[in-house]
Structure formats: structure tokens, C-alpha cells
């Protein structure tokens, strides 16, 4: 055997050779003072030779043992070489994939290794063509996938525009969920591990922690998207994500909406003073414990925040936007078209521009706050809108059967209120009033009429009344 560019091989052919087996090995240093260190080699076996290829990495033995046993955190630093474990794993996985892609050629090996190291460590992940599976963790690929989405190296499917910040936020949530799963199960998930067995384990893990079916559906949809991307990048041959049951089915959600009369009732609610709120609480038919708990909160700052939440929520009911959008509506967004005022807003989630006719009540609320709505945290919004529903006496049972993961049956109407109820109320009330779906869609920004139809909250009787209008002229009554 003779050395060639740091590669040891039997001099048979320089043409590409099929690899029968390849892995990475740690060869301990024999130098004095370096006993805890060693060099990483790619060990390549073809039908004609066994070769060791220098990768250029010299690391601590402890670091290698952590890597081999998958007992590491992707974001942790490998002090010996100054890069993260996740980056190290990506480099080795892509070297292996690149070597296996078109057969191994000793003459090209050094350049391939240097190219892969440069591309991974400098964030240029799309340079090397890769094919077969490598020993890459799902978490590591997900991290690089998120980075690619943020920088624009990956874009919306079939388009050239970057994904929205909301989409990135969703990916970071699933990233955290995967990390929690790995920590609690003492198991690192590789790309090749994204099988139906792992799918069942993940779903069971989330069920045990009380997540609702639609949250699990959302998480597994993201897992499938990332697993598919890894498969298309030829980093794994596992394609269980194609299975029809990989993503659990969604369930019909027991959501509510406010009628126009309820919206007006909420707008008319007196939240101007502590006395007005206390009087309202005293008149409610609720338990003494709940009444005392609410009375104990009746401070000026609390009452003022209640009023802010009520006003912002009303704006949502009259504009049909998501809370991330309706909470930031301001005077500067109002424009005039053909003598009519519209709110022009770019939705944060979809980056769509929508025009919303200005309701006079929205105008009045904006004027109340000098053209800009007061800031309220989304969590505070969801909590206090329930308190407002309670103050209005909306304590009747919705009649919903909450089976799923929570055995309670029935909930009060006020306890079902969320910041998103405002958007659903707008869409449902508009449809009940006879506004065509395309017109509602133009304001809400839903991507399709089918999606909007699923979104509307109508009971069987309401649907029948609306259907009757559509059948006039066909059915004689």
C-alpha cells in the first residue's frame, strides 16, 4: 500500500469503484501528551481494496465516544476542533453520502472531503450531490433545514419566495418537541429512524402528555415535511412518511363564534370603573369561590387591561384577521378606494396583502386610542376574553362532548372564548349574511374556499337555512 494525498490504498484502478461498506474510525494518537486525542478516518471497502481516508479531524477520544453513542447535544461545542457536534455529524454523513453517490474514486476523495467540510461549515448545504443514507440525526437535519429556510436557500415549494416567520416558528416548536422526546426517552432519532414505529412512539408520547389530536396532527405534519426533505436530498432511504397513517387525522373542533348581537353586547359592556365591574360580578349566577376570585382582581390596572382586550377583540370580530394581525391594526393602515375606506394590511403568517372595509366601530375604537391599539400579550388576551364572557353572563353549557383526551363533558360558553374566536365570528357571520365565499376569502386570506368552508362554525339548522337560499327556484315551497 502506498500513500496518495493522505489516502492509503492498493494501487489497482483510479476509476470509480462501488463501495461495499464504509464507516468512520478513530485512531488514537501515539504522540506524547496527545494520548487523549485521535484522528478520524473514513474506512472505505470496495471489491478490490480496503482504504483509510484522512478527514482532517483530530478530536478527543471522549468526543468521539459521545458521537458514536449518540450521547451528545447537537448545539454543544467540540472544543478540540471548534465546531458543534451537529456540524461534525453533518460533515461525516455528507462525506459518506458523497463517496457512495457515484462510486469511490481515490483521486477525488481529498477534494470531496474538503468541499463537504467547506460547504457544511460555511452554511452552503446544497453544493454536494448526495444520495444514500448517512448517519445523520433527525435533529441535525432539522436544524440545517430551519437555517436554510431562514436564509432562503430553501424556499416555498414550487416558488422562489422565503417562507413566513410563522412557518419558521412552527419548525422551532417541533424542534423543541423532538429534543424533549429524545431527552425523556434517552434515544437519539436518526433520519433512518423516521419509521411508522417511531411515528407511533412520538404520537403516544404526545398523547401521554395531554396534547390534543389536532396539535399532534400539526406536529406530525411538520415531521413528515422534514422527513420528506431529507429523503429528497437523498440523505435517507426511509420513506415511511408516505404511509397514509403517518400523520394522524384531524378531529372536528368544538369551536364557537359570536353572533352580531353578542358582538354588540360585548361592545356595550361597561368596563369603565371598578364599581361597574364589581356590580356586574355580584349579579352573576356563579359559585361564590369564582366570584371572590374575580372580585380580588378588581384593580384599576386589571380593569383597564380588560377594556383593552375587549376593544382589540371587537376589532378582530369586525376585520376577520388573526390575532397577530388584528392586534396591530392602526390608523396608518387606512386607505381610500373609490370614496370608501379600507384597512390595508399584510398578514404576518402568509405575507398576503388584504383590503378590509372599515367598520365605523373599528374607526371609533382606533380614535379612542389615538389611532393605535394598546399592546396586550396573546396569552393575556386568551385569558381575559374568557373573563369578559363571564361578565356578560355567557355561562351556559355549550353542549359539546369533550371526549378526546379530556374526559370532561360540556363547557361553559365563556370558557370556550379565545382570541381566534374573533376571526371565526367574522367569517361565519359574513357567510350567514349571504356574503359569497370568494369575498370572505379575499378578506380573511384563506388559501382556498374548501379551507374556509371547514373553518365556518354553523350547526345543522343554520346550514339548512343557508342551503334553502341556494335552492330557491329549484324547490317549490
Domain end marker among 67, 102, 126: 126
| Number of residues written out for the chain | 477
Q: Is 466 a member of any domain?
A: yes
Q: Is 398 a member of any domain?
A: yes
Residues 394 and 285 both lie in one domain: yes
SS3 state at 440: helix
Distance of CA 157 to the CA centre of its chain: 16
Residues 71 and 199 both lie in one domain: no
Q: Is 94 a member of any domain?
A: yes
pLDDT of residue 12: 38
SS3 state at 146: helix
Residues 30 and 163 both lie in one domain: no
The domain of 68 spans 1-126
pLDDT of residue 178: 94
Residues 60 and 42 both lie in one domain: yes
Tally of structural domains, the chain: 3
Which residues of the chain fall below pLDDT 70? 1-17, 48, 101-103, 123-135, 157-160, 252-254, 399-410, 457-477
Q: Distance (Å, rounded) from C-alpha 144 to C-alpha 136?
A: 11
Residues 283 and 184 both lie in one domain: no
Q: Is 122 a member of any domain?
A: yes
Domain end marker among 126, 161, 178: 126
| pTM of the model as a whole | 0.57
Q: Is 477 a member of any domain?
A: no
Q: Is 408 a member of any domain?
A: yes
Domain end marker among 107, 126, 145: 126
Output the DSSP codes for 358-402.
--HHHHHHHHHTTTBPPP--HHHHHHHHHHHHHHTT--SB-----
Residues 320 and 294 both lie in one domain: yes
Mean pLDDT of the chain: 83
CATH code assigned at 272: 1.10.443
Amino acid at each position: 500500500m502506498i500513500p496518495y494525498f493522505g489516502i492509503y490504498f492498493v494501487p489497482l484502478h483510479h476509476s470509480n469503484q462501488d463501495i461495499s461498506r464504509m464507516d468512520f474510525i478513530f485512531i488514537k494518537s501515539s504522540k506524547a501528551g496527545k494520548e487523549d486525542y485521535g484522528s478520524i478516518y473514513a474506512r472505505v471497502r470496495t471489491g478490490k481494496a480496503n482504504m483509510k481516508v484522512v478527514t482532517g479531524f483530530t478530536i478527543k477520544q471522549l468526543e468521539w465516544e459521545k458521537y458514536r453513542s449518540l450521547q451528545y447535544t447537537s448545539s454543544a461545542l467540540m472544543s478540540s476542533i471548534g465546531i458543534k457536534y451537529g456540524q461534525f455529524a453533518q460533515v461525516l454523513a455528507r462525506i459518506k453520502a458523497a463517496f457512495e453517490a457515484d462510486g469511490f474514486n481515490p483521486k477525488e476523495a481529498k477534494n470531496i472531503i474538503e468541499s463537504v467540510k467547506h460547504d457544511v461549515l460555511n452554511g452552503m448545504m446544497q453544493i454536494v450531490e448526495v444520495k444514500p443514507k448517512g448517519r445523520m440525526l433527525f435533529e441535525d437535519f432539522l436544524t440545517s433545514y430551519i437555517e436554510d429556510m431562514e436564509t432562503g436557500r430553501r424556499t416555498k415549494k414550487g416558488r422562489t419566495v422565503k417562507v413566513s416567520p410563522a412557518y419558521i416558528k412552527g419548525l422551532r416548536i417541533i424542534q423543541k418537541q423532538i429534543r424533549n422526546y429524545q431527552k425523556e426517552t434517552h434515544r437519539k432519532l436518526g433520519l433512518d429512524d423516521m419509521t411508522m414505529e417511531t411515528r407511533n412512539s412520538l404520537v403516544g408520547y404526545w398523547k401521554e402528555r395531554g396534547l390534543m389530536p389536532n396539535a399532534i396532527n400539526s406536529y406530525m405534519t411538520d415531521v413528515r415535511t422534514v422527513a420528506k426533505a431529507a429523503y429528497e436530498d437523498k440523505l435517507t432511504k426511509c420513506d415511511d412518511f408516505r404511509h397514509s397513517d403517518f400523520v394522524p387525522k384531524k378531529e372536528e373542533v368544538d369551536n364557537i363564534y359570536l353572533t352580531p348581537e353578542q358582538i354588540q353586547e360585548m361592545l356595550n359592556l361597561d368596563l369603565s370603573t371598578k364599581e361597574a365591574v364589581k356590580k356586574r360580578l355580584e349579579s352573576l349566577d356563579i359559585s361564590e369561590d369564582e366570584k371572590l376570585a374575580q372580585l380580588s382582581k378588581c384593580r384599576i390596572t386589571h380593569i383597564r387591561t380588560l377594556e383593552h382586550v375587549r376593544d382589540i377583540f371587537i376589532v378582530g370580530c369586525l376585520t376577520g384577521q388573526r390575532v397577530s394581525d388584528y392586534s396591530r391594526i392602526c390608523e396608518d393602515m387606512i386607505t381610500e378606494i373609490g370614496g370608501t375606506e379600507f384597512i390595508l394590511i399584510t398578514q404576518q403568517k402568509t405575507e398576503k396583502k388584504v383590503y378590509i372595509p372599515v367598520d365605523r366601530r373599528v374607526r371609533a375604537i382606533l380614535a379612542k386610542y389615538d389611532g393605535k391599539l394598546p399592546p396586550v400579550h396573546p396569552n393575556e388576551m386568551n385569558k381575559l376574553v374568557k373573563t369578559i364572557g363571564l361578565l356578560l353572563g355567557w355561562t351556559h353549557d355549550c353542549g359539546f362532548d369533550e371526549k378526546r383526551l379530556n374526559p370532561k363533558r360540556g363547557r361553559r360558553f365563556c370558557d370556550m372564548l379565545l382570541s381566534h374566536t374573533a376571526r371565526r365570528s367574522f367569517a361565519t357571520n359574513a357567510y350567514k349574511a349571504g356574503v359569497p365565499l370568494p369575498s370572505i376569502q379575499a378578506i380573511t386570506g384563506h388559501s382556498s374556499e374548501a379551507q374556509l368552508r371547514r373553518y365556518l362554525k354553523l350547526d345543522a339548522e343554520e346550514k339548512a337555512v343557508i342551503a334553502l337560499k341556494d335552492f330557491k327556484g329549484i324547490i317549490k315551497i
